[in-house]
Amino acid sequence: MQGAVHSLPLSIGYQCTLLQQRHVKKQSIVASKKTATKSRNQSFPLRNDTLSMKNSVLAGNRLRCNFVARACSSRRQIQTVDVASAPEVAVDLRFTQVADGVAAIRIIDHSTNNFEEQYSQRLGSTVNCYLVKGEQTALIDLPSEAVADAFVKSLSVATWTEGLQHIVLNDFGPKQAATLAAVLDAQPVTNPPVEIWCTNPTLQAITKLLKQEGSPLQKAWKRFGLRARLMLVKKGTSMDLGNERVLNFFPTSVPRWPSGMCTYDSESGALFTCNFFSSHVADAPESSGFDADVDMDVWRHYFNVNLSPVASQVSLPPVPERPSTAAHHIQNLSPTPADPEAMKMRQNSKVSEKLNLWAENAKRAILKMNKTLAMYPQPVKPTLETNSTDVRVLCPKHGPMVKEQVAELLAQYNAWIKAELTKLDESFVAVIYASAYGNTGIMAQAVAQGLRDGGVGVEMLNCEFSTASEVTEIIERSSGFVVGTPTLGGHMPTPVSEALGAILKEPSAKGQPFGVFGSYGWSGEGVQLADQRLRDGGFTAAFDRISVKFTPTSSDLDHCKASGEELAKEVQDLAKIRKIETKKKAVKSQVSAVVDPKTVAIGRITTAMSVLTTKDANSGVPSMMAASWVSQASFTPPGVTVALPKENSPEGLLLLNAKFTLNVLSKERTLGLTKPLLNKGFKTGNDIFEGMNVGESESSGCAILNDAASYLDCTVVDRMDCGDHWVMLCHIDSGDILDESAGTSFHYRTSGAEY
Ligand SMILES: Cc1cc2nc3c(=O)[nH]c(=O)nc-3n(C[C@H](O)[C@H](O)[C@H](O)COP(=O)(O)O)c2cc1C
């Protein structure tokens, strides 16, 4: 119903005109007169589904709305308005026996009015919580505060929930705070302290809430006294529920859910996986709540939207370990905890969390993942004999529980992760965005989908929650990027502007193709400014900027997807070009590795070009060879050294007392004389001088090339082994000038590695 229009004042000075949400359409929302103030600046219409009223919750007869106004303040502005005659919230809440001693309390939501991409299959969803009973009872996970009352009632209905001894928080967000308070509140005051098992980020979040004066959690704590304890979960932590039932915990932090962990019940083989293996699909009326007949597509969709952008940080939970005596960090639920050890751990965890988030490159992630998978117990069908570390049922936070398809779903997850990592390894595009009301966020998901469809990996970064150095880090590794920005107050929000600054400064961003998109209300400067800044910075856009008024329609989202695909193609083309260039570079560097500077320097030694003629001492058969490694060695007696290759020289020449004639060539006639010798080393035979103008030296009896510049008759007097050459020391017996005017032929070389 698009009926009554209501006005809510925002303390930032804007007035939002709200249309009613579908799920509260029967109510009339009347702004409390006390809180209503006149608009001080401007009014603007927000359409029904663009509102952040998706965050609204009914608590008693109060409607609580969270607004985010990025233009003026990054803080959430919380308004409370009275709801006249609020109807009962109809909650479809179901109990399901999962295994002996394990029950699920599942809240079924058949409506699909949430417009986030993850719900786009419009199949509804569920929120699942679990009770596990040994000697003591543990509640695993909490629903959001919207259904807190109904949930707490259901807990008291459950036959074996006279009281809880443990609450396990596989995940925790502000929306669960009031539920936690309500659950604590409902515990009999005579019960022993409830232990709350959680990872460090949750511990911090709860501690912060406890400090908040008047927060429901603080109130519950005050009522409940100091009898709840926070138990810090680390790798290897476990908890004994009694009756041979042990819960093993393992943190599974990923950027999207930094506080995440999984819990394994050794007795039933139930793995409580929180967001992993979740899906958004509500139970059909006759459904058992399990996975029979559930299509793999629903898990695939959830994975695509929620996990694939961070696949480099995703790995399946490690193998559940046997109960260990892990050191539990026990902390009284005190509003002012000041445990120095906890502080230190918190700091350390912050550092390692950051490292975890973005510093890991895809290759390392693959290795890590493979290692994890190798450790993971092979799931078996529940009917088979099995030991206590088998996973027999997957108990996710959303959607059906998985019994029939455990093995298949695990295998599929592995395959999806691997596929994603392969894409990341090759090239990925960074999707950097901010979205106050979710519209630009939906566009970001659609662009990301297009990129993935186009065959490249995606890493998403909501810059509202990240630092400039995280932007730089991701851009250093990416092959392209997209920037998504709304328009708030005629600008892009500050986090986007800062992210752009980081991109423009980053040298490795140069040459990366980009795209800009975003939602706006009436003027849309945000997208224009971002686009212009990047173009001015010398970047090239892969697609025209996309501006969508308020909520994107399905054709807008198609356009986003198609643009993502365009960018993917551009990235792949560039990758191909880069591959070719890299190959060329590799060849070049191979060449320069062979011709290293030292070798080039040796090549700079220049000597005269000569042809050496000799005669076998026994047979008298003549030989000749080109020789340039000749150098004067002494004045008295006049001597030269000649370096001769061991493998490729006339044999007789290598002996002491061998005689030869060194014909020093003239530069004018070098080629004619050396040509027959090129690539041959030396020639032997009675006909080798055919067609040449030769004489015979009286002293050596060897040939004189009359076209040379001069000649010298030599006798070998000594030789030295120099590796692949002999260096012959020769005395000069006689010699003469053949051409007075000839210049000496010099042998210039580019490398000392060859003649
Ligand atoms: C405080 C505030 C200021 C806004 N200023 C502008 C503006 O100057 N120009 C405009 O075109 N839209 C403006 N809008 C509308 C938003 O751009 C629009 O709601 C958009 O859908 C928000 O995108 P998001 O859902 O990704 O945050 C403003 C909205 C708010 C709440």
Number of the ligand 1 atom closest to the C-alpha atom of 484: 26
The finding on whether 21 has its CB within 6 A of some atom of ligand 1 is no
Most confident of 181-190, 220-229, 537-546: 537-546
Type of residue numbered 199: T
Number of the ligand 1 atom closest to the C-alpha atom of 438: 25
Instruction: Report the side by side order of strands in the sheet with 546-549.
Output: 457-462, 428-433, 480-484, 514-520, 546-549
280 CA from centroid of ligand 1 (Å): 29
Contact 396, 404 (CB under 8 A): no
Residue 385 has a pLDDT of: 30
The finding on whether 517 has its CB within 6 A of some atom of ligand 1 is no
The finding on whether 424 has its CB within 6 A of some atom of ligand 1 is no
Residue whose CA lies nearest to ligand 1 atom number 6: 488
The finding on whether 489 has its CB within 6 A of some atom of ligand 1 is yes
Tokens matching residue 210: 């406890």
- Domain regions of the chain by residue span: 5-82, 92-420, 427-593, 601-747
Residues 324 and 498: their CA atoms lie apart, in Å, by: 46
CATH architecture of 427-593: 3-Layer(aba) Sandwich (3.40)
DSSP state string for 693-745: -EEE-TTT--EEETTSSEEEEEEEEEEEEETTEEEEEEEEEEEEES-TTPPBP
Residues 18/19/21/24 CA torsion (nearest 10 deg)? 90
Domains 92-420 and 427-593 equal at CATH topology level: no
- Of the candidates 180, 191, 188, 189, the residue with the CA atom closest to the CA atom of residue 217: 180
ipTM comes to 0.99
Residue whose CA lies nearest to ligand 1 atom number 30: 488
Residues 87 and 27: their CA atoms lie apart, in Å, by: 8
Q: Which of 488, 516, 527 best tests ligand 1's pocket when mutated (most atoms within 8 Å of CB)?
A: 488
Confidence label for 333 from pLDDT (cuts 50, 70 and 90) = very low
The finding on whether 522 has its CB within 6 A of some atom of ligand 1 is yes
Compute CA distances 156 → 133, 152, 511, whole Å: 15, 7, 61
Bridge-based pairing of strands 238-242 and 393-396 is unpaired
488 CA from centroid of ligand 1 (Å): 4
Contact 496, 483 (CB under 8 A): yes
Residue 380 has a pLDDT of: 31
552 CA from centroid of ligand 1 (Å): 13
Of 191-195, 350-354, 668-672, the range with the lowest mean pLDDT is 350-354
Whether the pLDDT of residue 582 is over 90: the answer is no
Superfamily name with CATH number, domain 601-747? Electron Transport, Fmn-binding Protein; Chain A (2.30.110.10)
pLDDT tens per residue across span 223-279: 766 567 889 988 778 899 998 899 988 877 665 677 888 898 888 889 898 888 899
Confidence label for 661 from pLDDT (cuts 50, 70 and 90) = very high
Bridge-based pairing of strands 514-520 and 92-99 is unpaired
Residue 455 makes CB contacts below 8 A (sequence gap 6+) with 423, 568, 572
Number of the ligand 1 atom closest to the C-alpha atom of 436: 27
Of 98-102, 154-158, 298-302, 698-702, the range with the lowest mean pLDDT is 154-158
Residue 585 has a pLDDT of: 65
Number of the ligand 1 atom closest to the C-alpha atom of 549: 21
10 CA from centroid of ligand 1 (Å): 14
Whether the pLDDT of residue 695 is over 60: the answer is yes
Residue 123 makes CB contacts below 8 A (sequence gap 6+) with 112, 280, 281, 282, 298
Residue whose CA lies nearest to ligand 1 atom number 31: 69
CATH label, 92-420, candidates 3.60.15.10, 3.20.20.70, 3.90.190.10, 1.10.150.80: 3.60.15.10
The finding on whether 550 has its CB within 6 A of some atom of ligand 1 is yes
Whether the pLDDT of residue 61 is over 80: the answer is no
50 CA from centroid of ligand 1 (Å): 10
Query: Could you give the 3-state DSSP secondary structure of residue 603?
Result: helix
Q: Which of 52, 437, 516 best tests ligand 1's pocket when mutated (most atoms within 8 Å of CB)?
A: 437
